[in-house]
Amino acid sequence: MPLYDVVCSKCGSPRDSNNIVCSSCGSPFLIELHKDFSDKIDENYPYISKRLLNIKSHIQDQVIDGIHMEGLFYTPTLSYKDLGMNTLFSFIREKNIVHKGSPVSEDSSGNAGASFAFFCNVLGYRAEVFVSKNANPVKMSQIRNYGAAIHRIEGTREDVEYQAKNSGYIYLGHQYWPEFYDGFRTISYEIYQNYDEIPELIYIPFSTGTLYLGVFEGFKHLAESGKIEKIPELVAVQPKNACGMYNLIKGTNYKRTSSIADALTGVTPLRSEVLKRIIEDYGSIRIIKEDEIINSRNYLLFNGIDIEFSSAIAFSAARNDRNGQTKMVLMTGHGMKNMKLNDQASAL
């Protein structure tokens, strides 16, 4: 048996060459591992010889009101996206998918764009980042600092994706490439390696579900390798203003409007059927109102934890939930990313 397979998330067909969607049904892929967990993190990624950068997410663990706050953003661009881009770009480089100097495109609400621009700069690719007209200005300057070109698109998040895909450049959209979400398995491994006990509940900000999926796969791998007894309950958290996944699971029809949690787009995720099954079988999903997101962010800020609204939302879900159980919040982006949004928040 091979050490891993890459299969269609819908019909199970194997991936041809390095396509981003299945040639039979057009769905994106999943990575399936067939080897036991290794304490040497790189050995859990059999499709690359070594990750480009040795990024560790677990730099600090602070406890606020009994909740473990797990920082994932002490990384090059101050967001957890670097953990996914690290495996994606390692793969792209090792398979020679892009030649130095070639233009590559990505669509993003900001954090992925900044991370993408950083890794393109490391490998000498020409980064073309597509964003929506009202994208967060701090993230835009970050993208520019790495030398990337920005294309601002009028329209919905889906329009931005369409433009990036049809730009004529090599499309490296992070939602599509399975090597991106797969990078987030490292988060589960680090939690396993750094805590005596895995918390019972883990709260995860949910946008397109790549973080959720990667963290789930990491814990599943640990459970299948006999390292942990069970997969902790993973709680997906979305803004009420941007809750595509919640609507899909609960059958509600909350309208998508803008949220102070600008990194959480609220679109229906690409692998929505897979994510729905995982959430229903192993997790749960919650939605949070804007004023609660702002309260949590301010509360954490005054307690010495500066994170973006899009991360603080997970704390909102955790603080009023099932007391008595052990809880952890995954903090995805540094508060620096909010600089220009602060006035907007105080006006609310």
Residue ranges that bind Zn ion, judged by CB under 5 A: 8, 10-11, 13, 22, 24-25, 27
Smallest CA-to-CA distance from 216 within 227, 204, 229 is with 204
CB of 25 to Zn ion, least distance (A): 3
Return the residue matching tokens 């397979």.
5
Q: Give the three-state DSSP class for 104.
A: strand
Of 27 and 115, the one with the shorter C-beta distance to Zn ion is: 27
3-state secondary structure of 16: coil
**What does the alpha-carbon distance between residue 6 and residue 309 come to, in Å, rounded to a whole number?**
34
* Residue 28, helix vs strand vs coil: strand
Task: Give 266 or 269: the residue with its C-beta nearer to Zn ion.
Answer: 269
Paired with 7 in beta bridges are 14, 30
Q: How far is the CB of 21 from Zn ion (least distance, A)?
A: 8
Closest contact distance (angstroms) between CB of 309 and Zn ion is: 36
Question: How near is the Cβ of 173 to Zn ion at its closest, in Å?
Answer: 18
For Zn ion, the closer of residues 11 and 59 by Cβ is 11
Q: Which two tokens stand for residue 128?
A: 């073309």
Nearer to Zn ion, 25 or 63 (CB): 25
State both tokens at 310. Answer: 């899009």
Cβ neighbour number for residue 339 with a 10 Å cutoff: 13
Alpha-carbon distance of 148 to 117, in angstroms, equals 6
Residue (27 or 163) nearer to Zn ion, CB: 27
Q: Which pair of tokens denotes residue 213?
A: 């999926």
Contact 110, 263 (CB under 8 A): yes
Residue 10 or 81 having the CB closest to Zn ion = 10
Least distance in Å: CB of 108 to Zn ion?
Answer: 26
Closest C-alpha among 292, 288, 314, 311 to residue 78: 311
Q: State the minimum distance, in angstroms, from the CB of residue 12 to Zn ion.
A: 7
Rounded to a whole number of angstroms, the minimum distance from the CB of residue 269 to Zn ion is 17
Residue 24 or 134: the one with the smaller Cβ distance to Zn ion is: 24
What Cα–Cα distance (Å) separates residue 117 from each residue in 19, 122, 162, 284?
A: 22, 9, 19, 33
**Pairing state of beta strands 4-8 and 67-71?**
unpaired
